[in-house]
Amino acid sequence: PEKAVLGNDAIDLNNILAGRWLRFWVNPYADQIGRTQLEERINASEAKRKVTVSALAEEARLLYVGITRARDYLIFPTTNNPTRWLNRAWHGGNEDYPTLDEGNETHFEWAGKYLAKDFETFWFTKDFGYAPKPIETISFIENRSGKGDFLAYKIDFEKENLAITESKNSYSSSLDFHNYALPLLLKEDATPSVVKREFLAQFARLSSPI
């Protein structure tokens, strides 16, 4: 940010933020820019001259860093307007004289010869397209496997009984045998009264003593 008035540059380690200000200068001329008494006084002030010299030195420093740090190429991105900051940095504040003219050579000299340059124009639309990012679903809980075919597991009650008897020397145990009823074989169009009658009949058969 540019400074209109130079302050005290001394740093107080006990109060690092001391002297930090954000100033909004009053403009009595509204939208009028240039050719005002305020502008004339600012341009003629010593503060403006010092700030201008400091800004030119900073631009020259950035240009030096860019040139000396470039490995293969140094790219100056520009718009339709010329690079005025580059003109100021190279020509000591004169931004009207172009540094990058239409020729193939530059004003930058290295190892006894001038560095070459090239221009390339890229055209972009004002509105860039938008490509929505595809949404990837993440399953935090495993989906249910649902009904499926599973291998039948047969329990041999005699072996199970023998295993329990051998492992429990203090007592013997036997497993009871149960007869499981077959499911009701009903038609798909069976009415509730038919289902009830068949269920009660099968229950009576299972409940009767053998």
**C-alpha span between 92 and 77 (Å, rounded):** 21
The pLDDT assigned to 170 comes to 45
- Nearest alpha carbon to residue 103 among 113, 118, 124: 118
DSSP secondary structure string for all residues of the chain: ---SS-------TT-TTTT--------TTTT--SSSHHHHHHHTSHHHHHHHHHHHHHHHHHHHHHHHH-SS-------SS--HHHHHHHTTT--SS-SS-SSSEEEEEETTEEEE---------SS----PPPPPP--SSPPP--S---------HHHHHHHHHHH-TT----PPP--PPPPP---TT--HHHHHHHHHHHHHHHHS--
Radius of gyration of the chain (CA): 46
**Burial class, 88, CB count within 10 angstroms (exposed 0-12 / middle 13-18 / buried 19+):** buried
C-beta neighbour count of 174 within 10 angstroms: 12
The pLDDT assigned to 5 comes to 54
Tell me which residues of the chain have a pLDDT lower than 70.
1-9, 80-82, 155-182, 207-210
The pLDDT assigned to 33 comes to 77
Tokens of 160: 């199970």
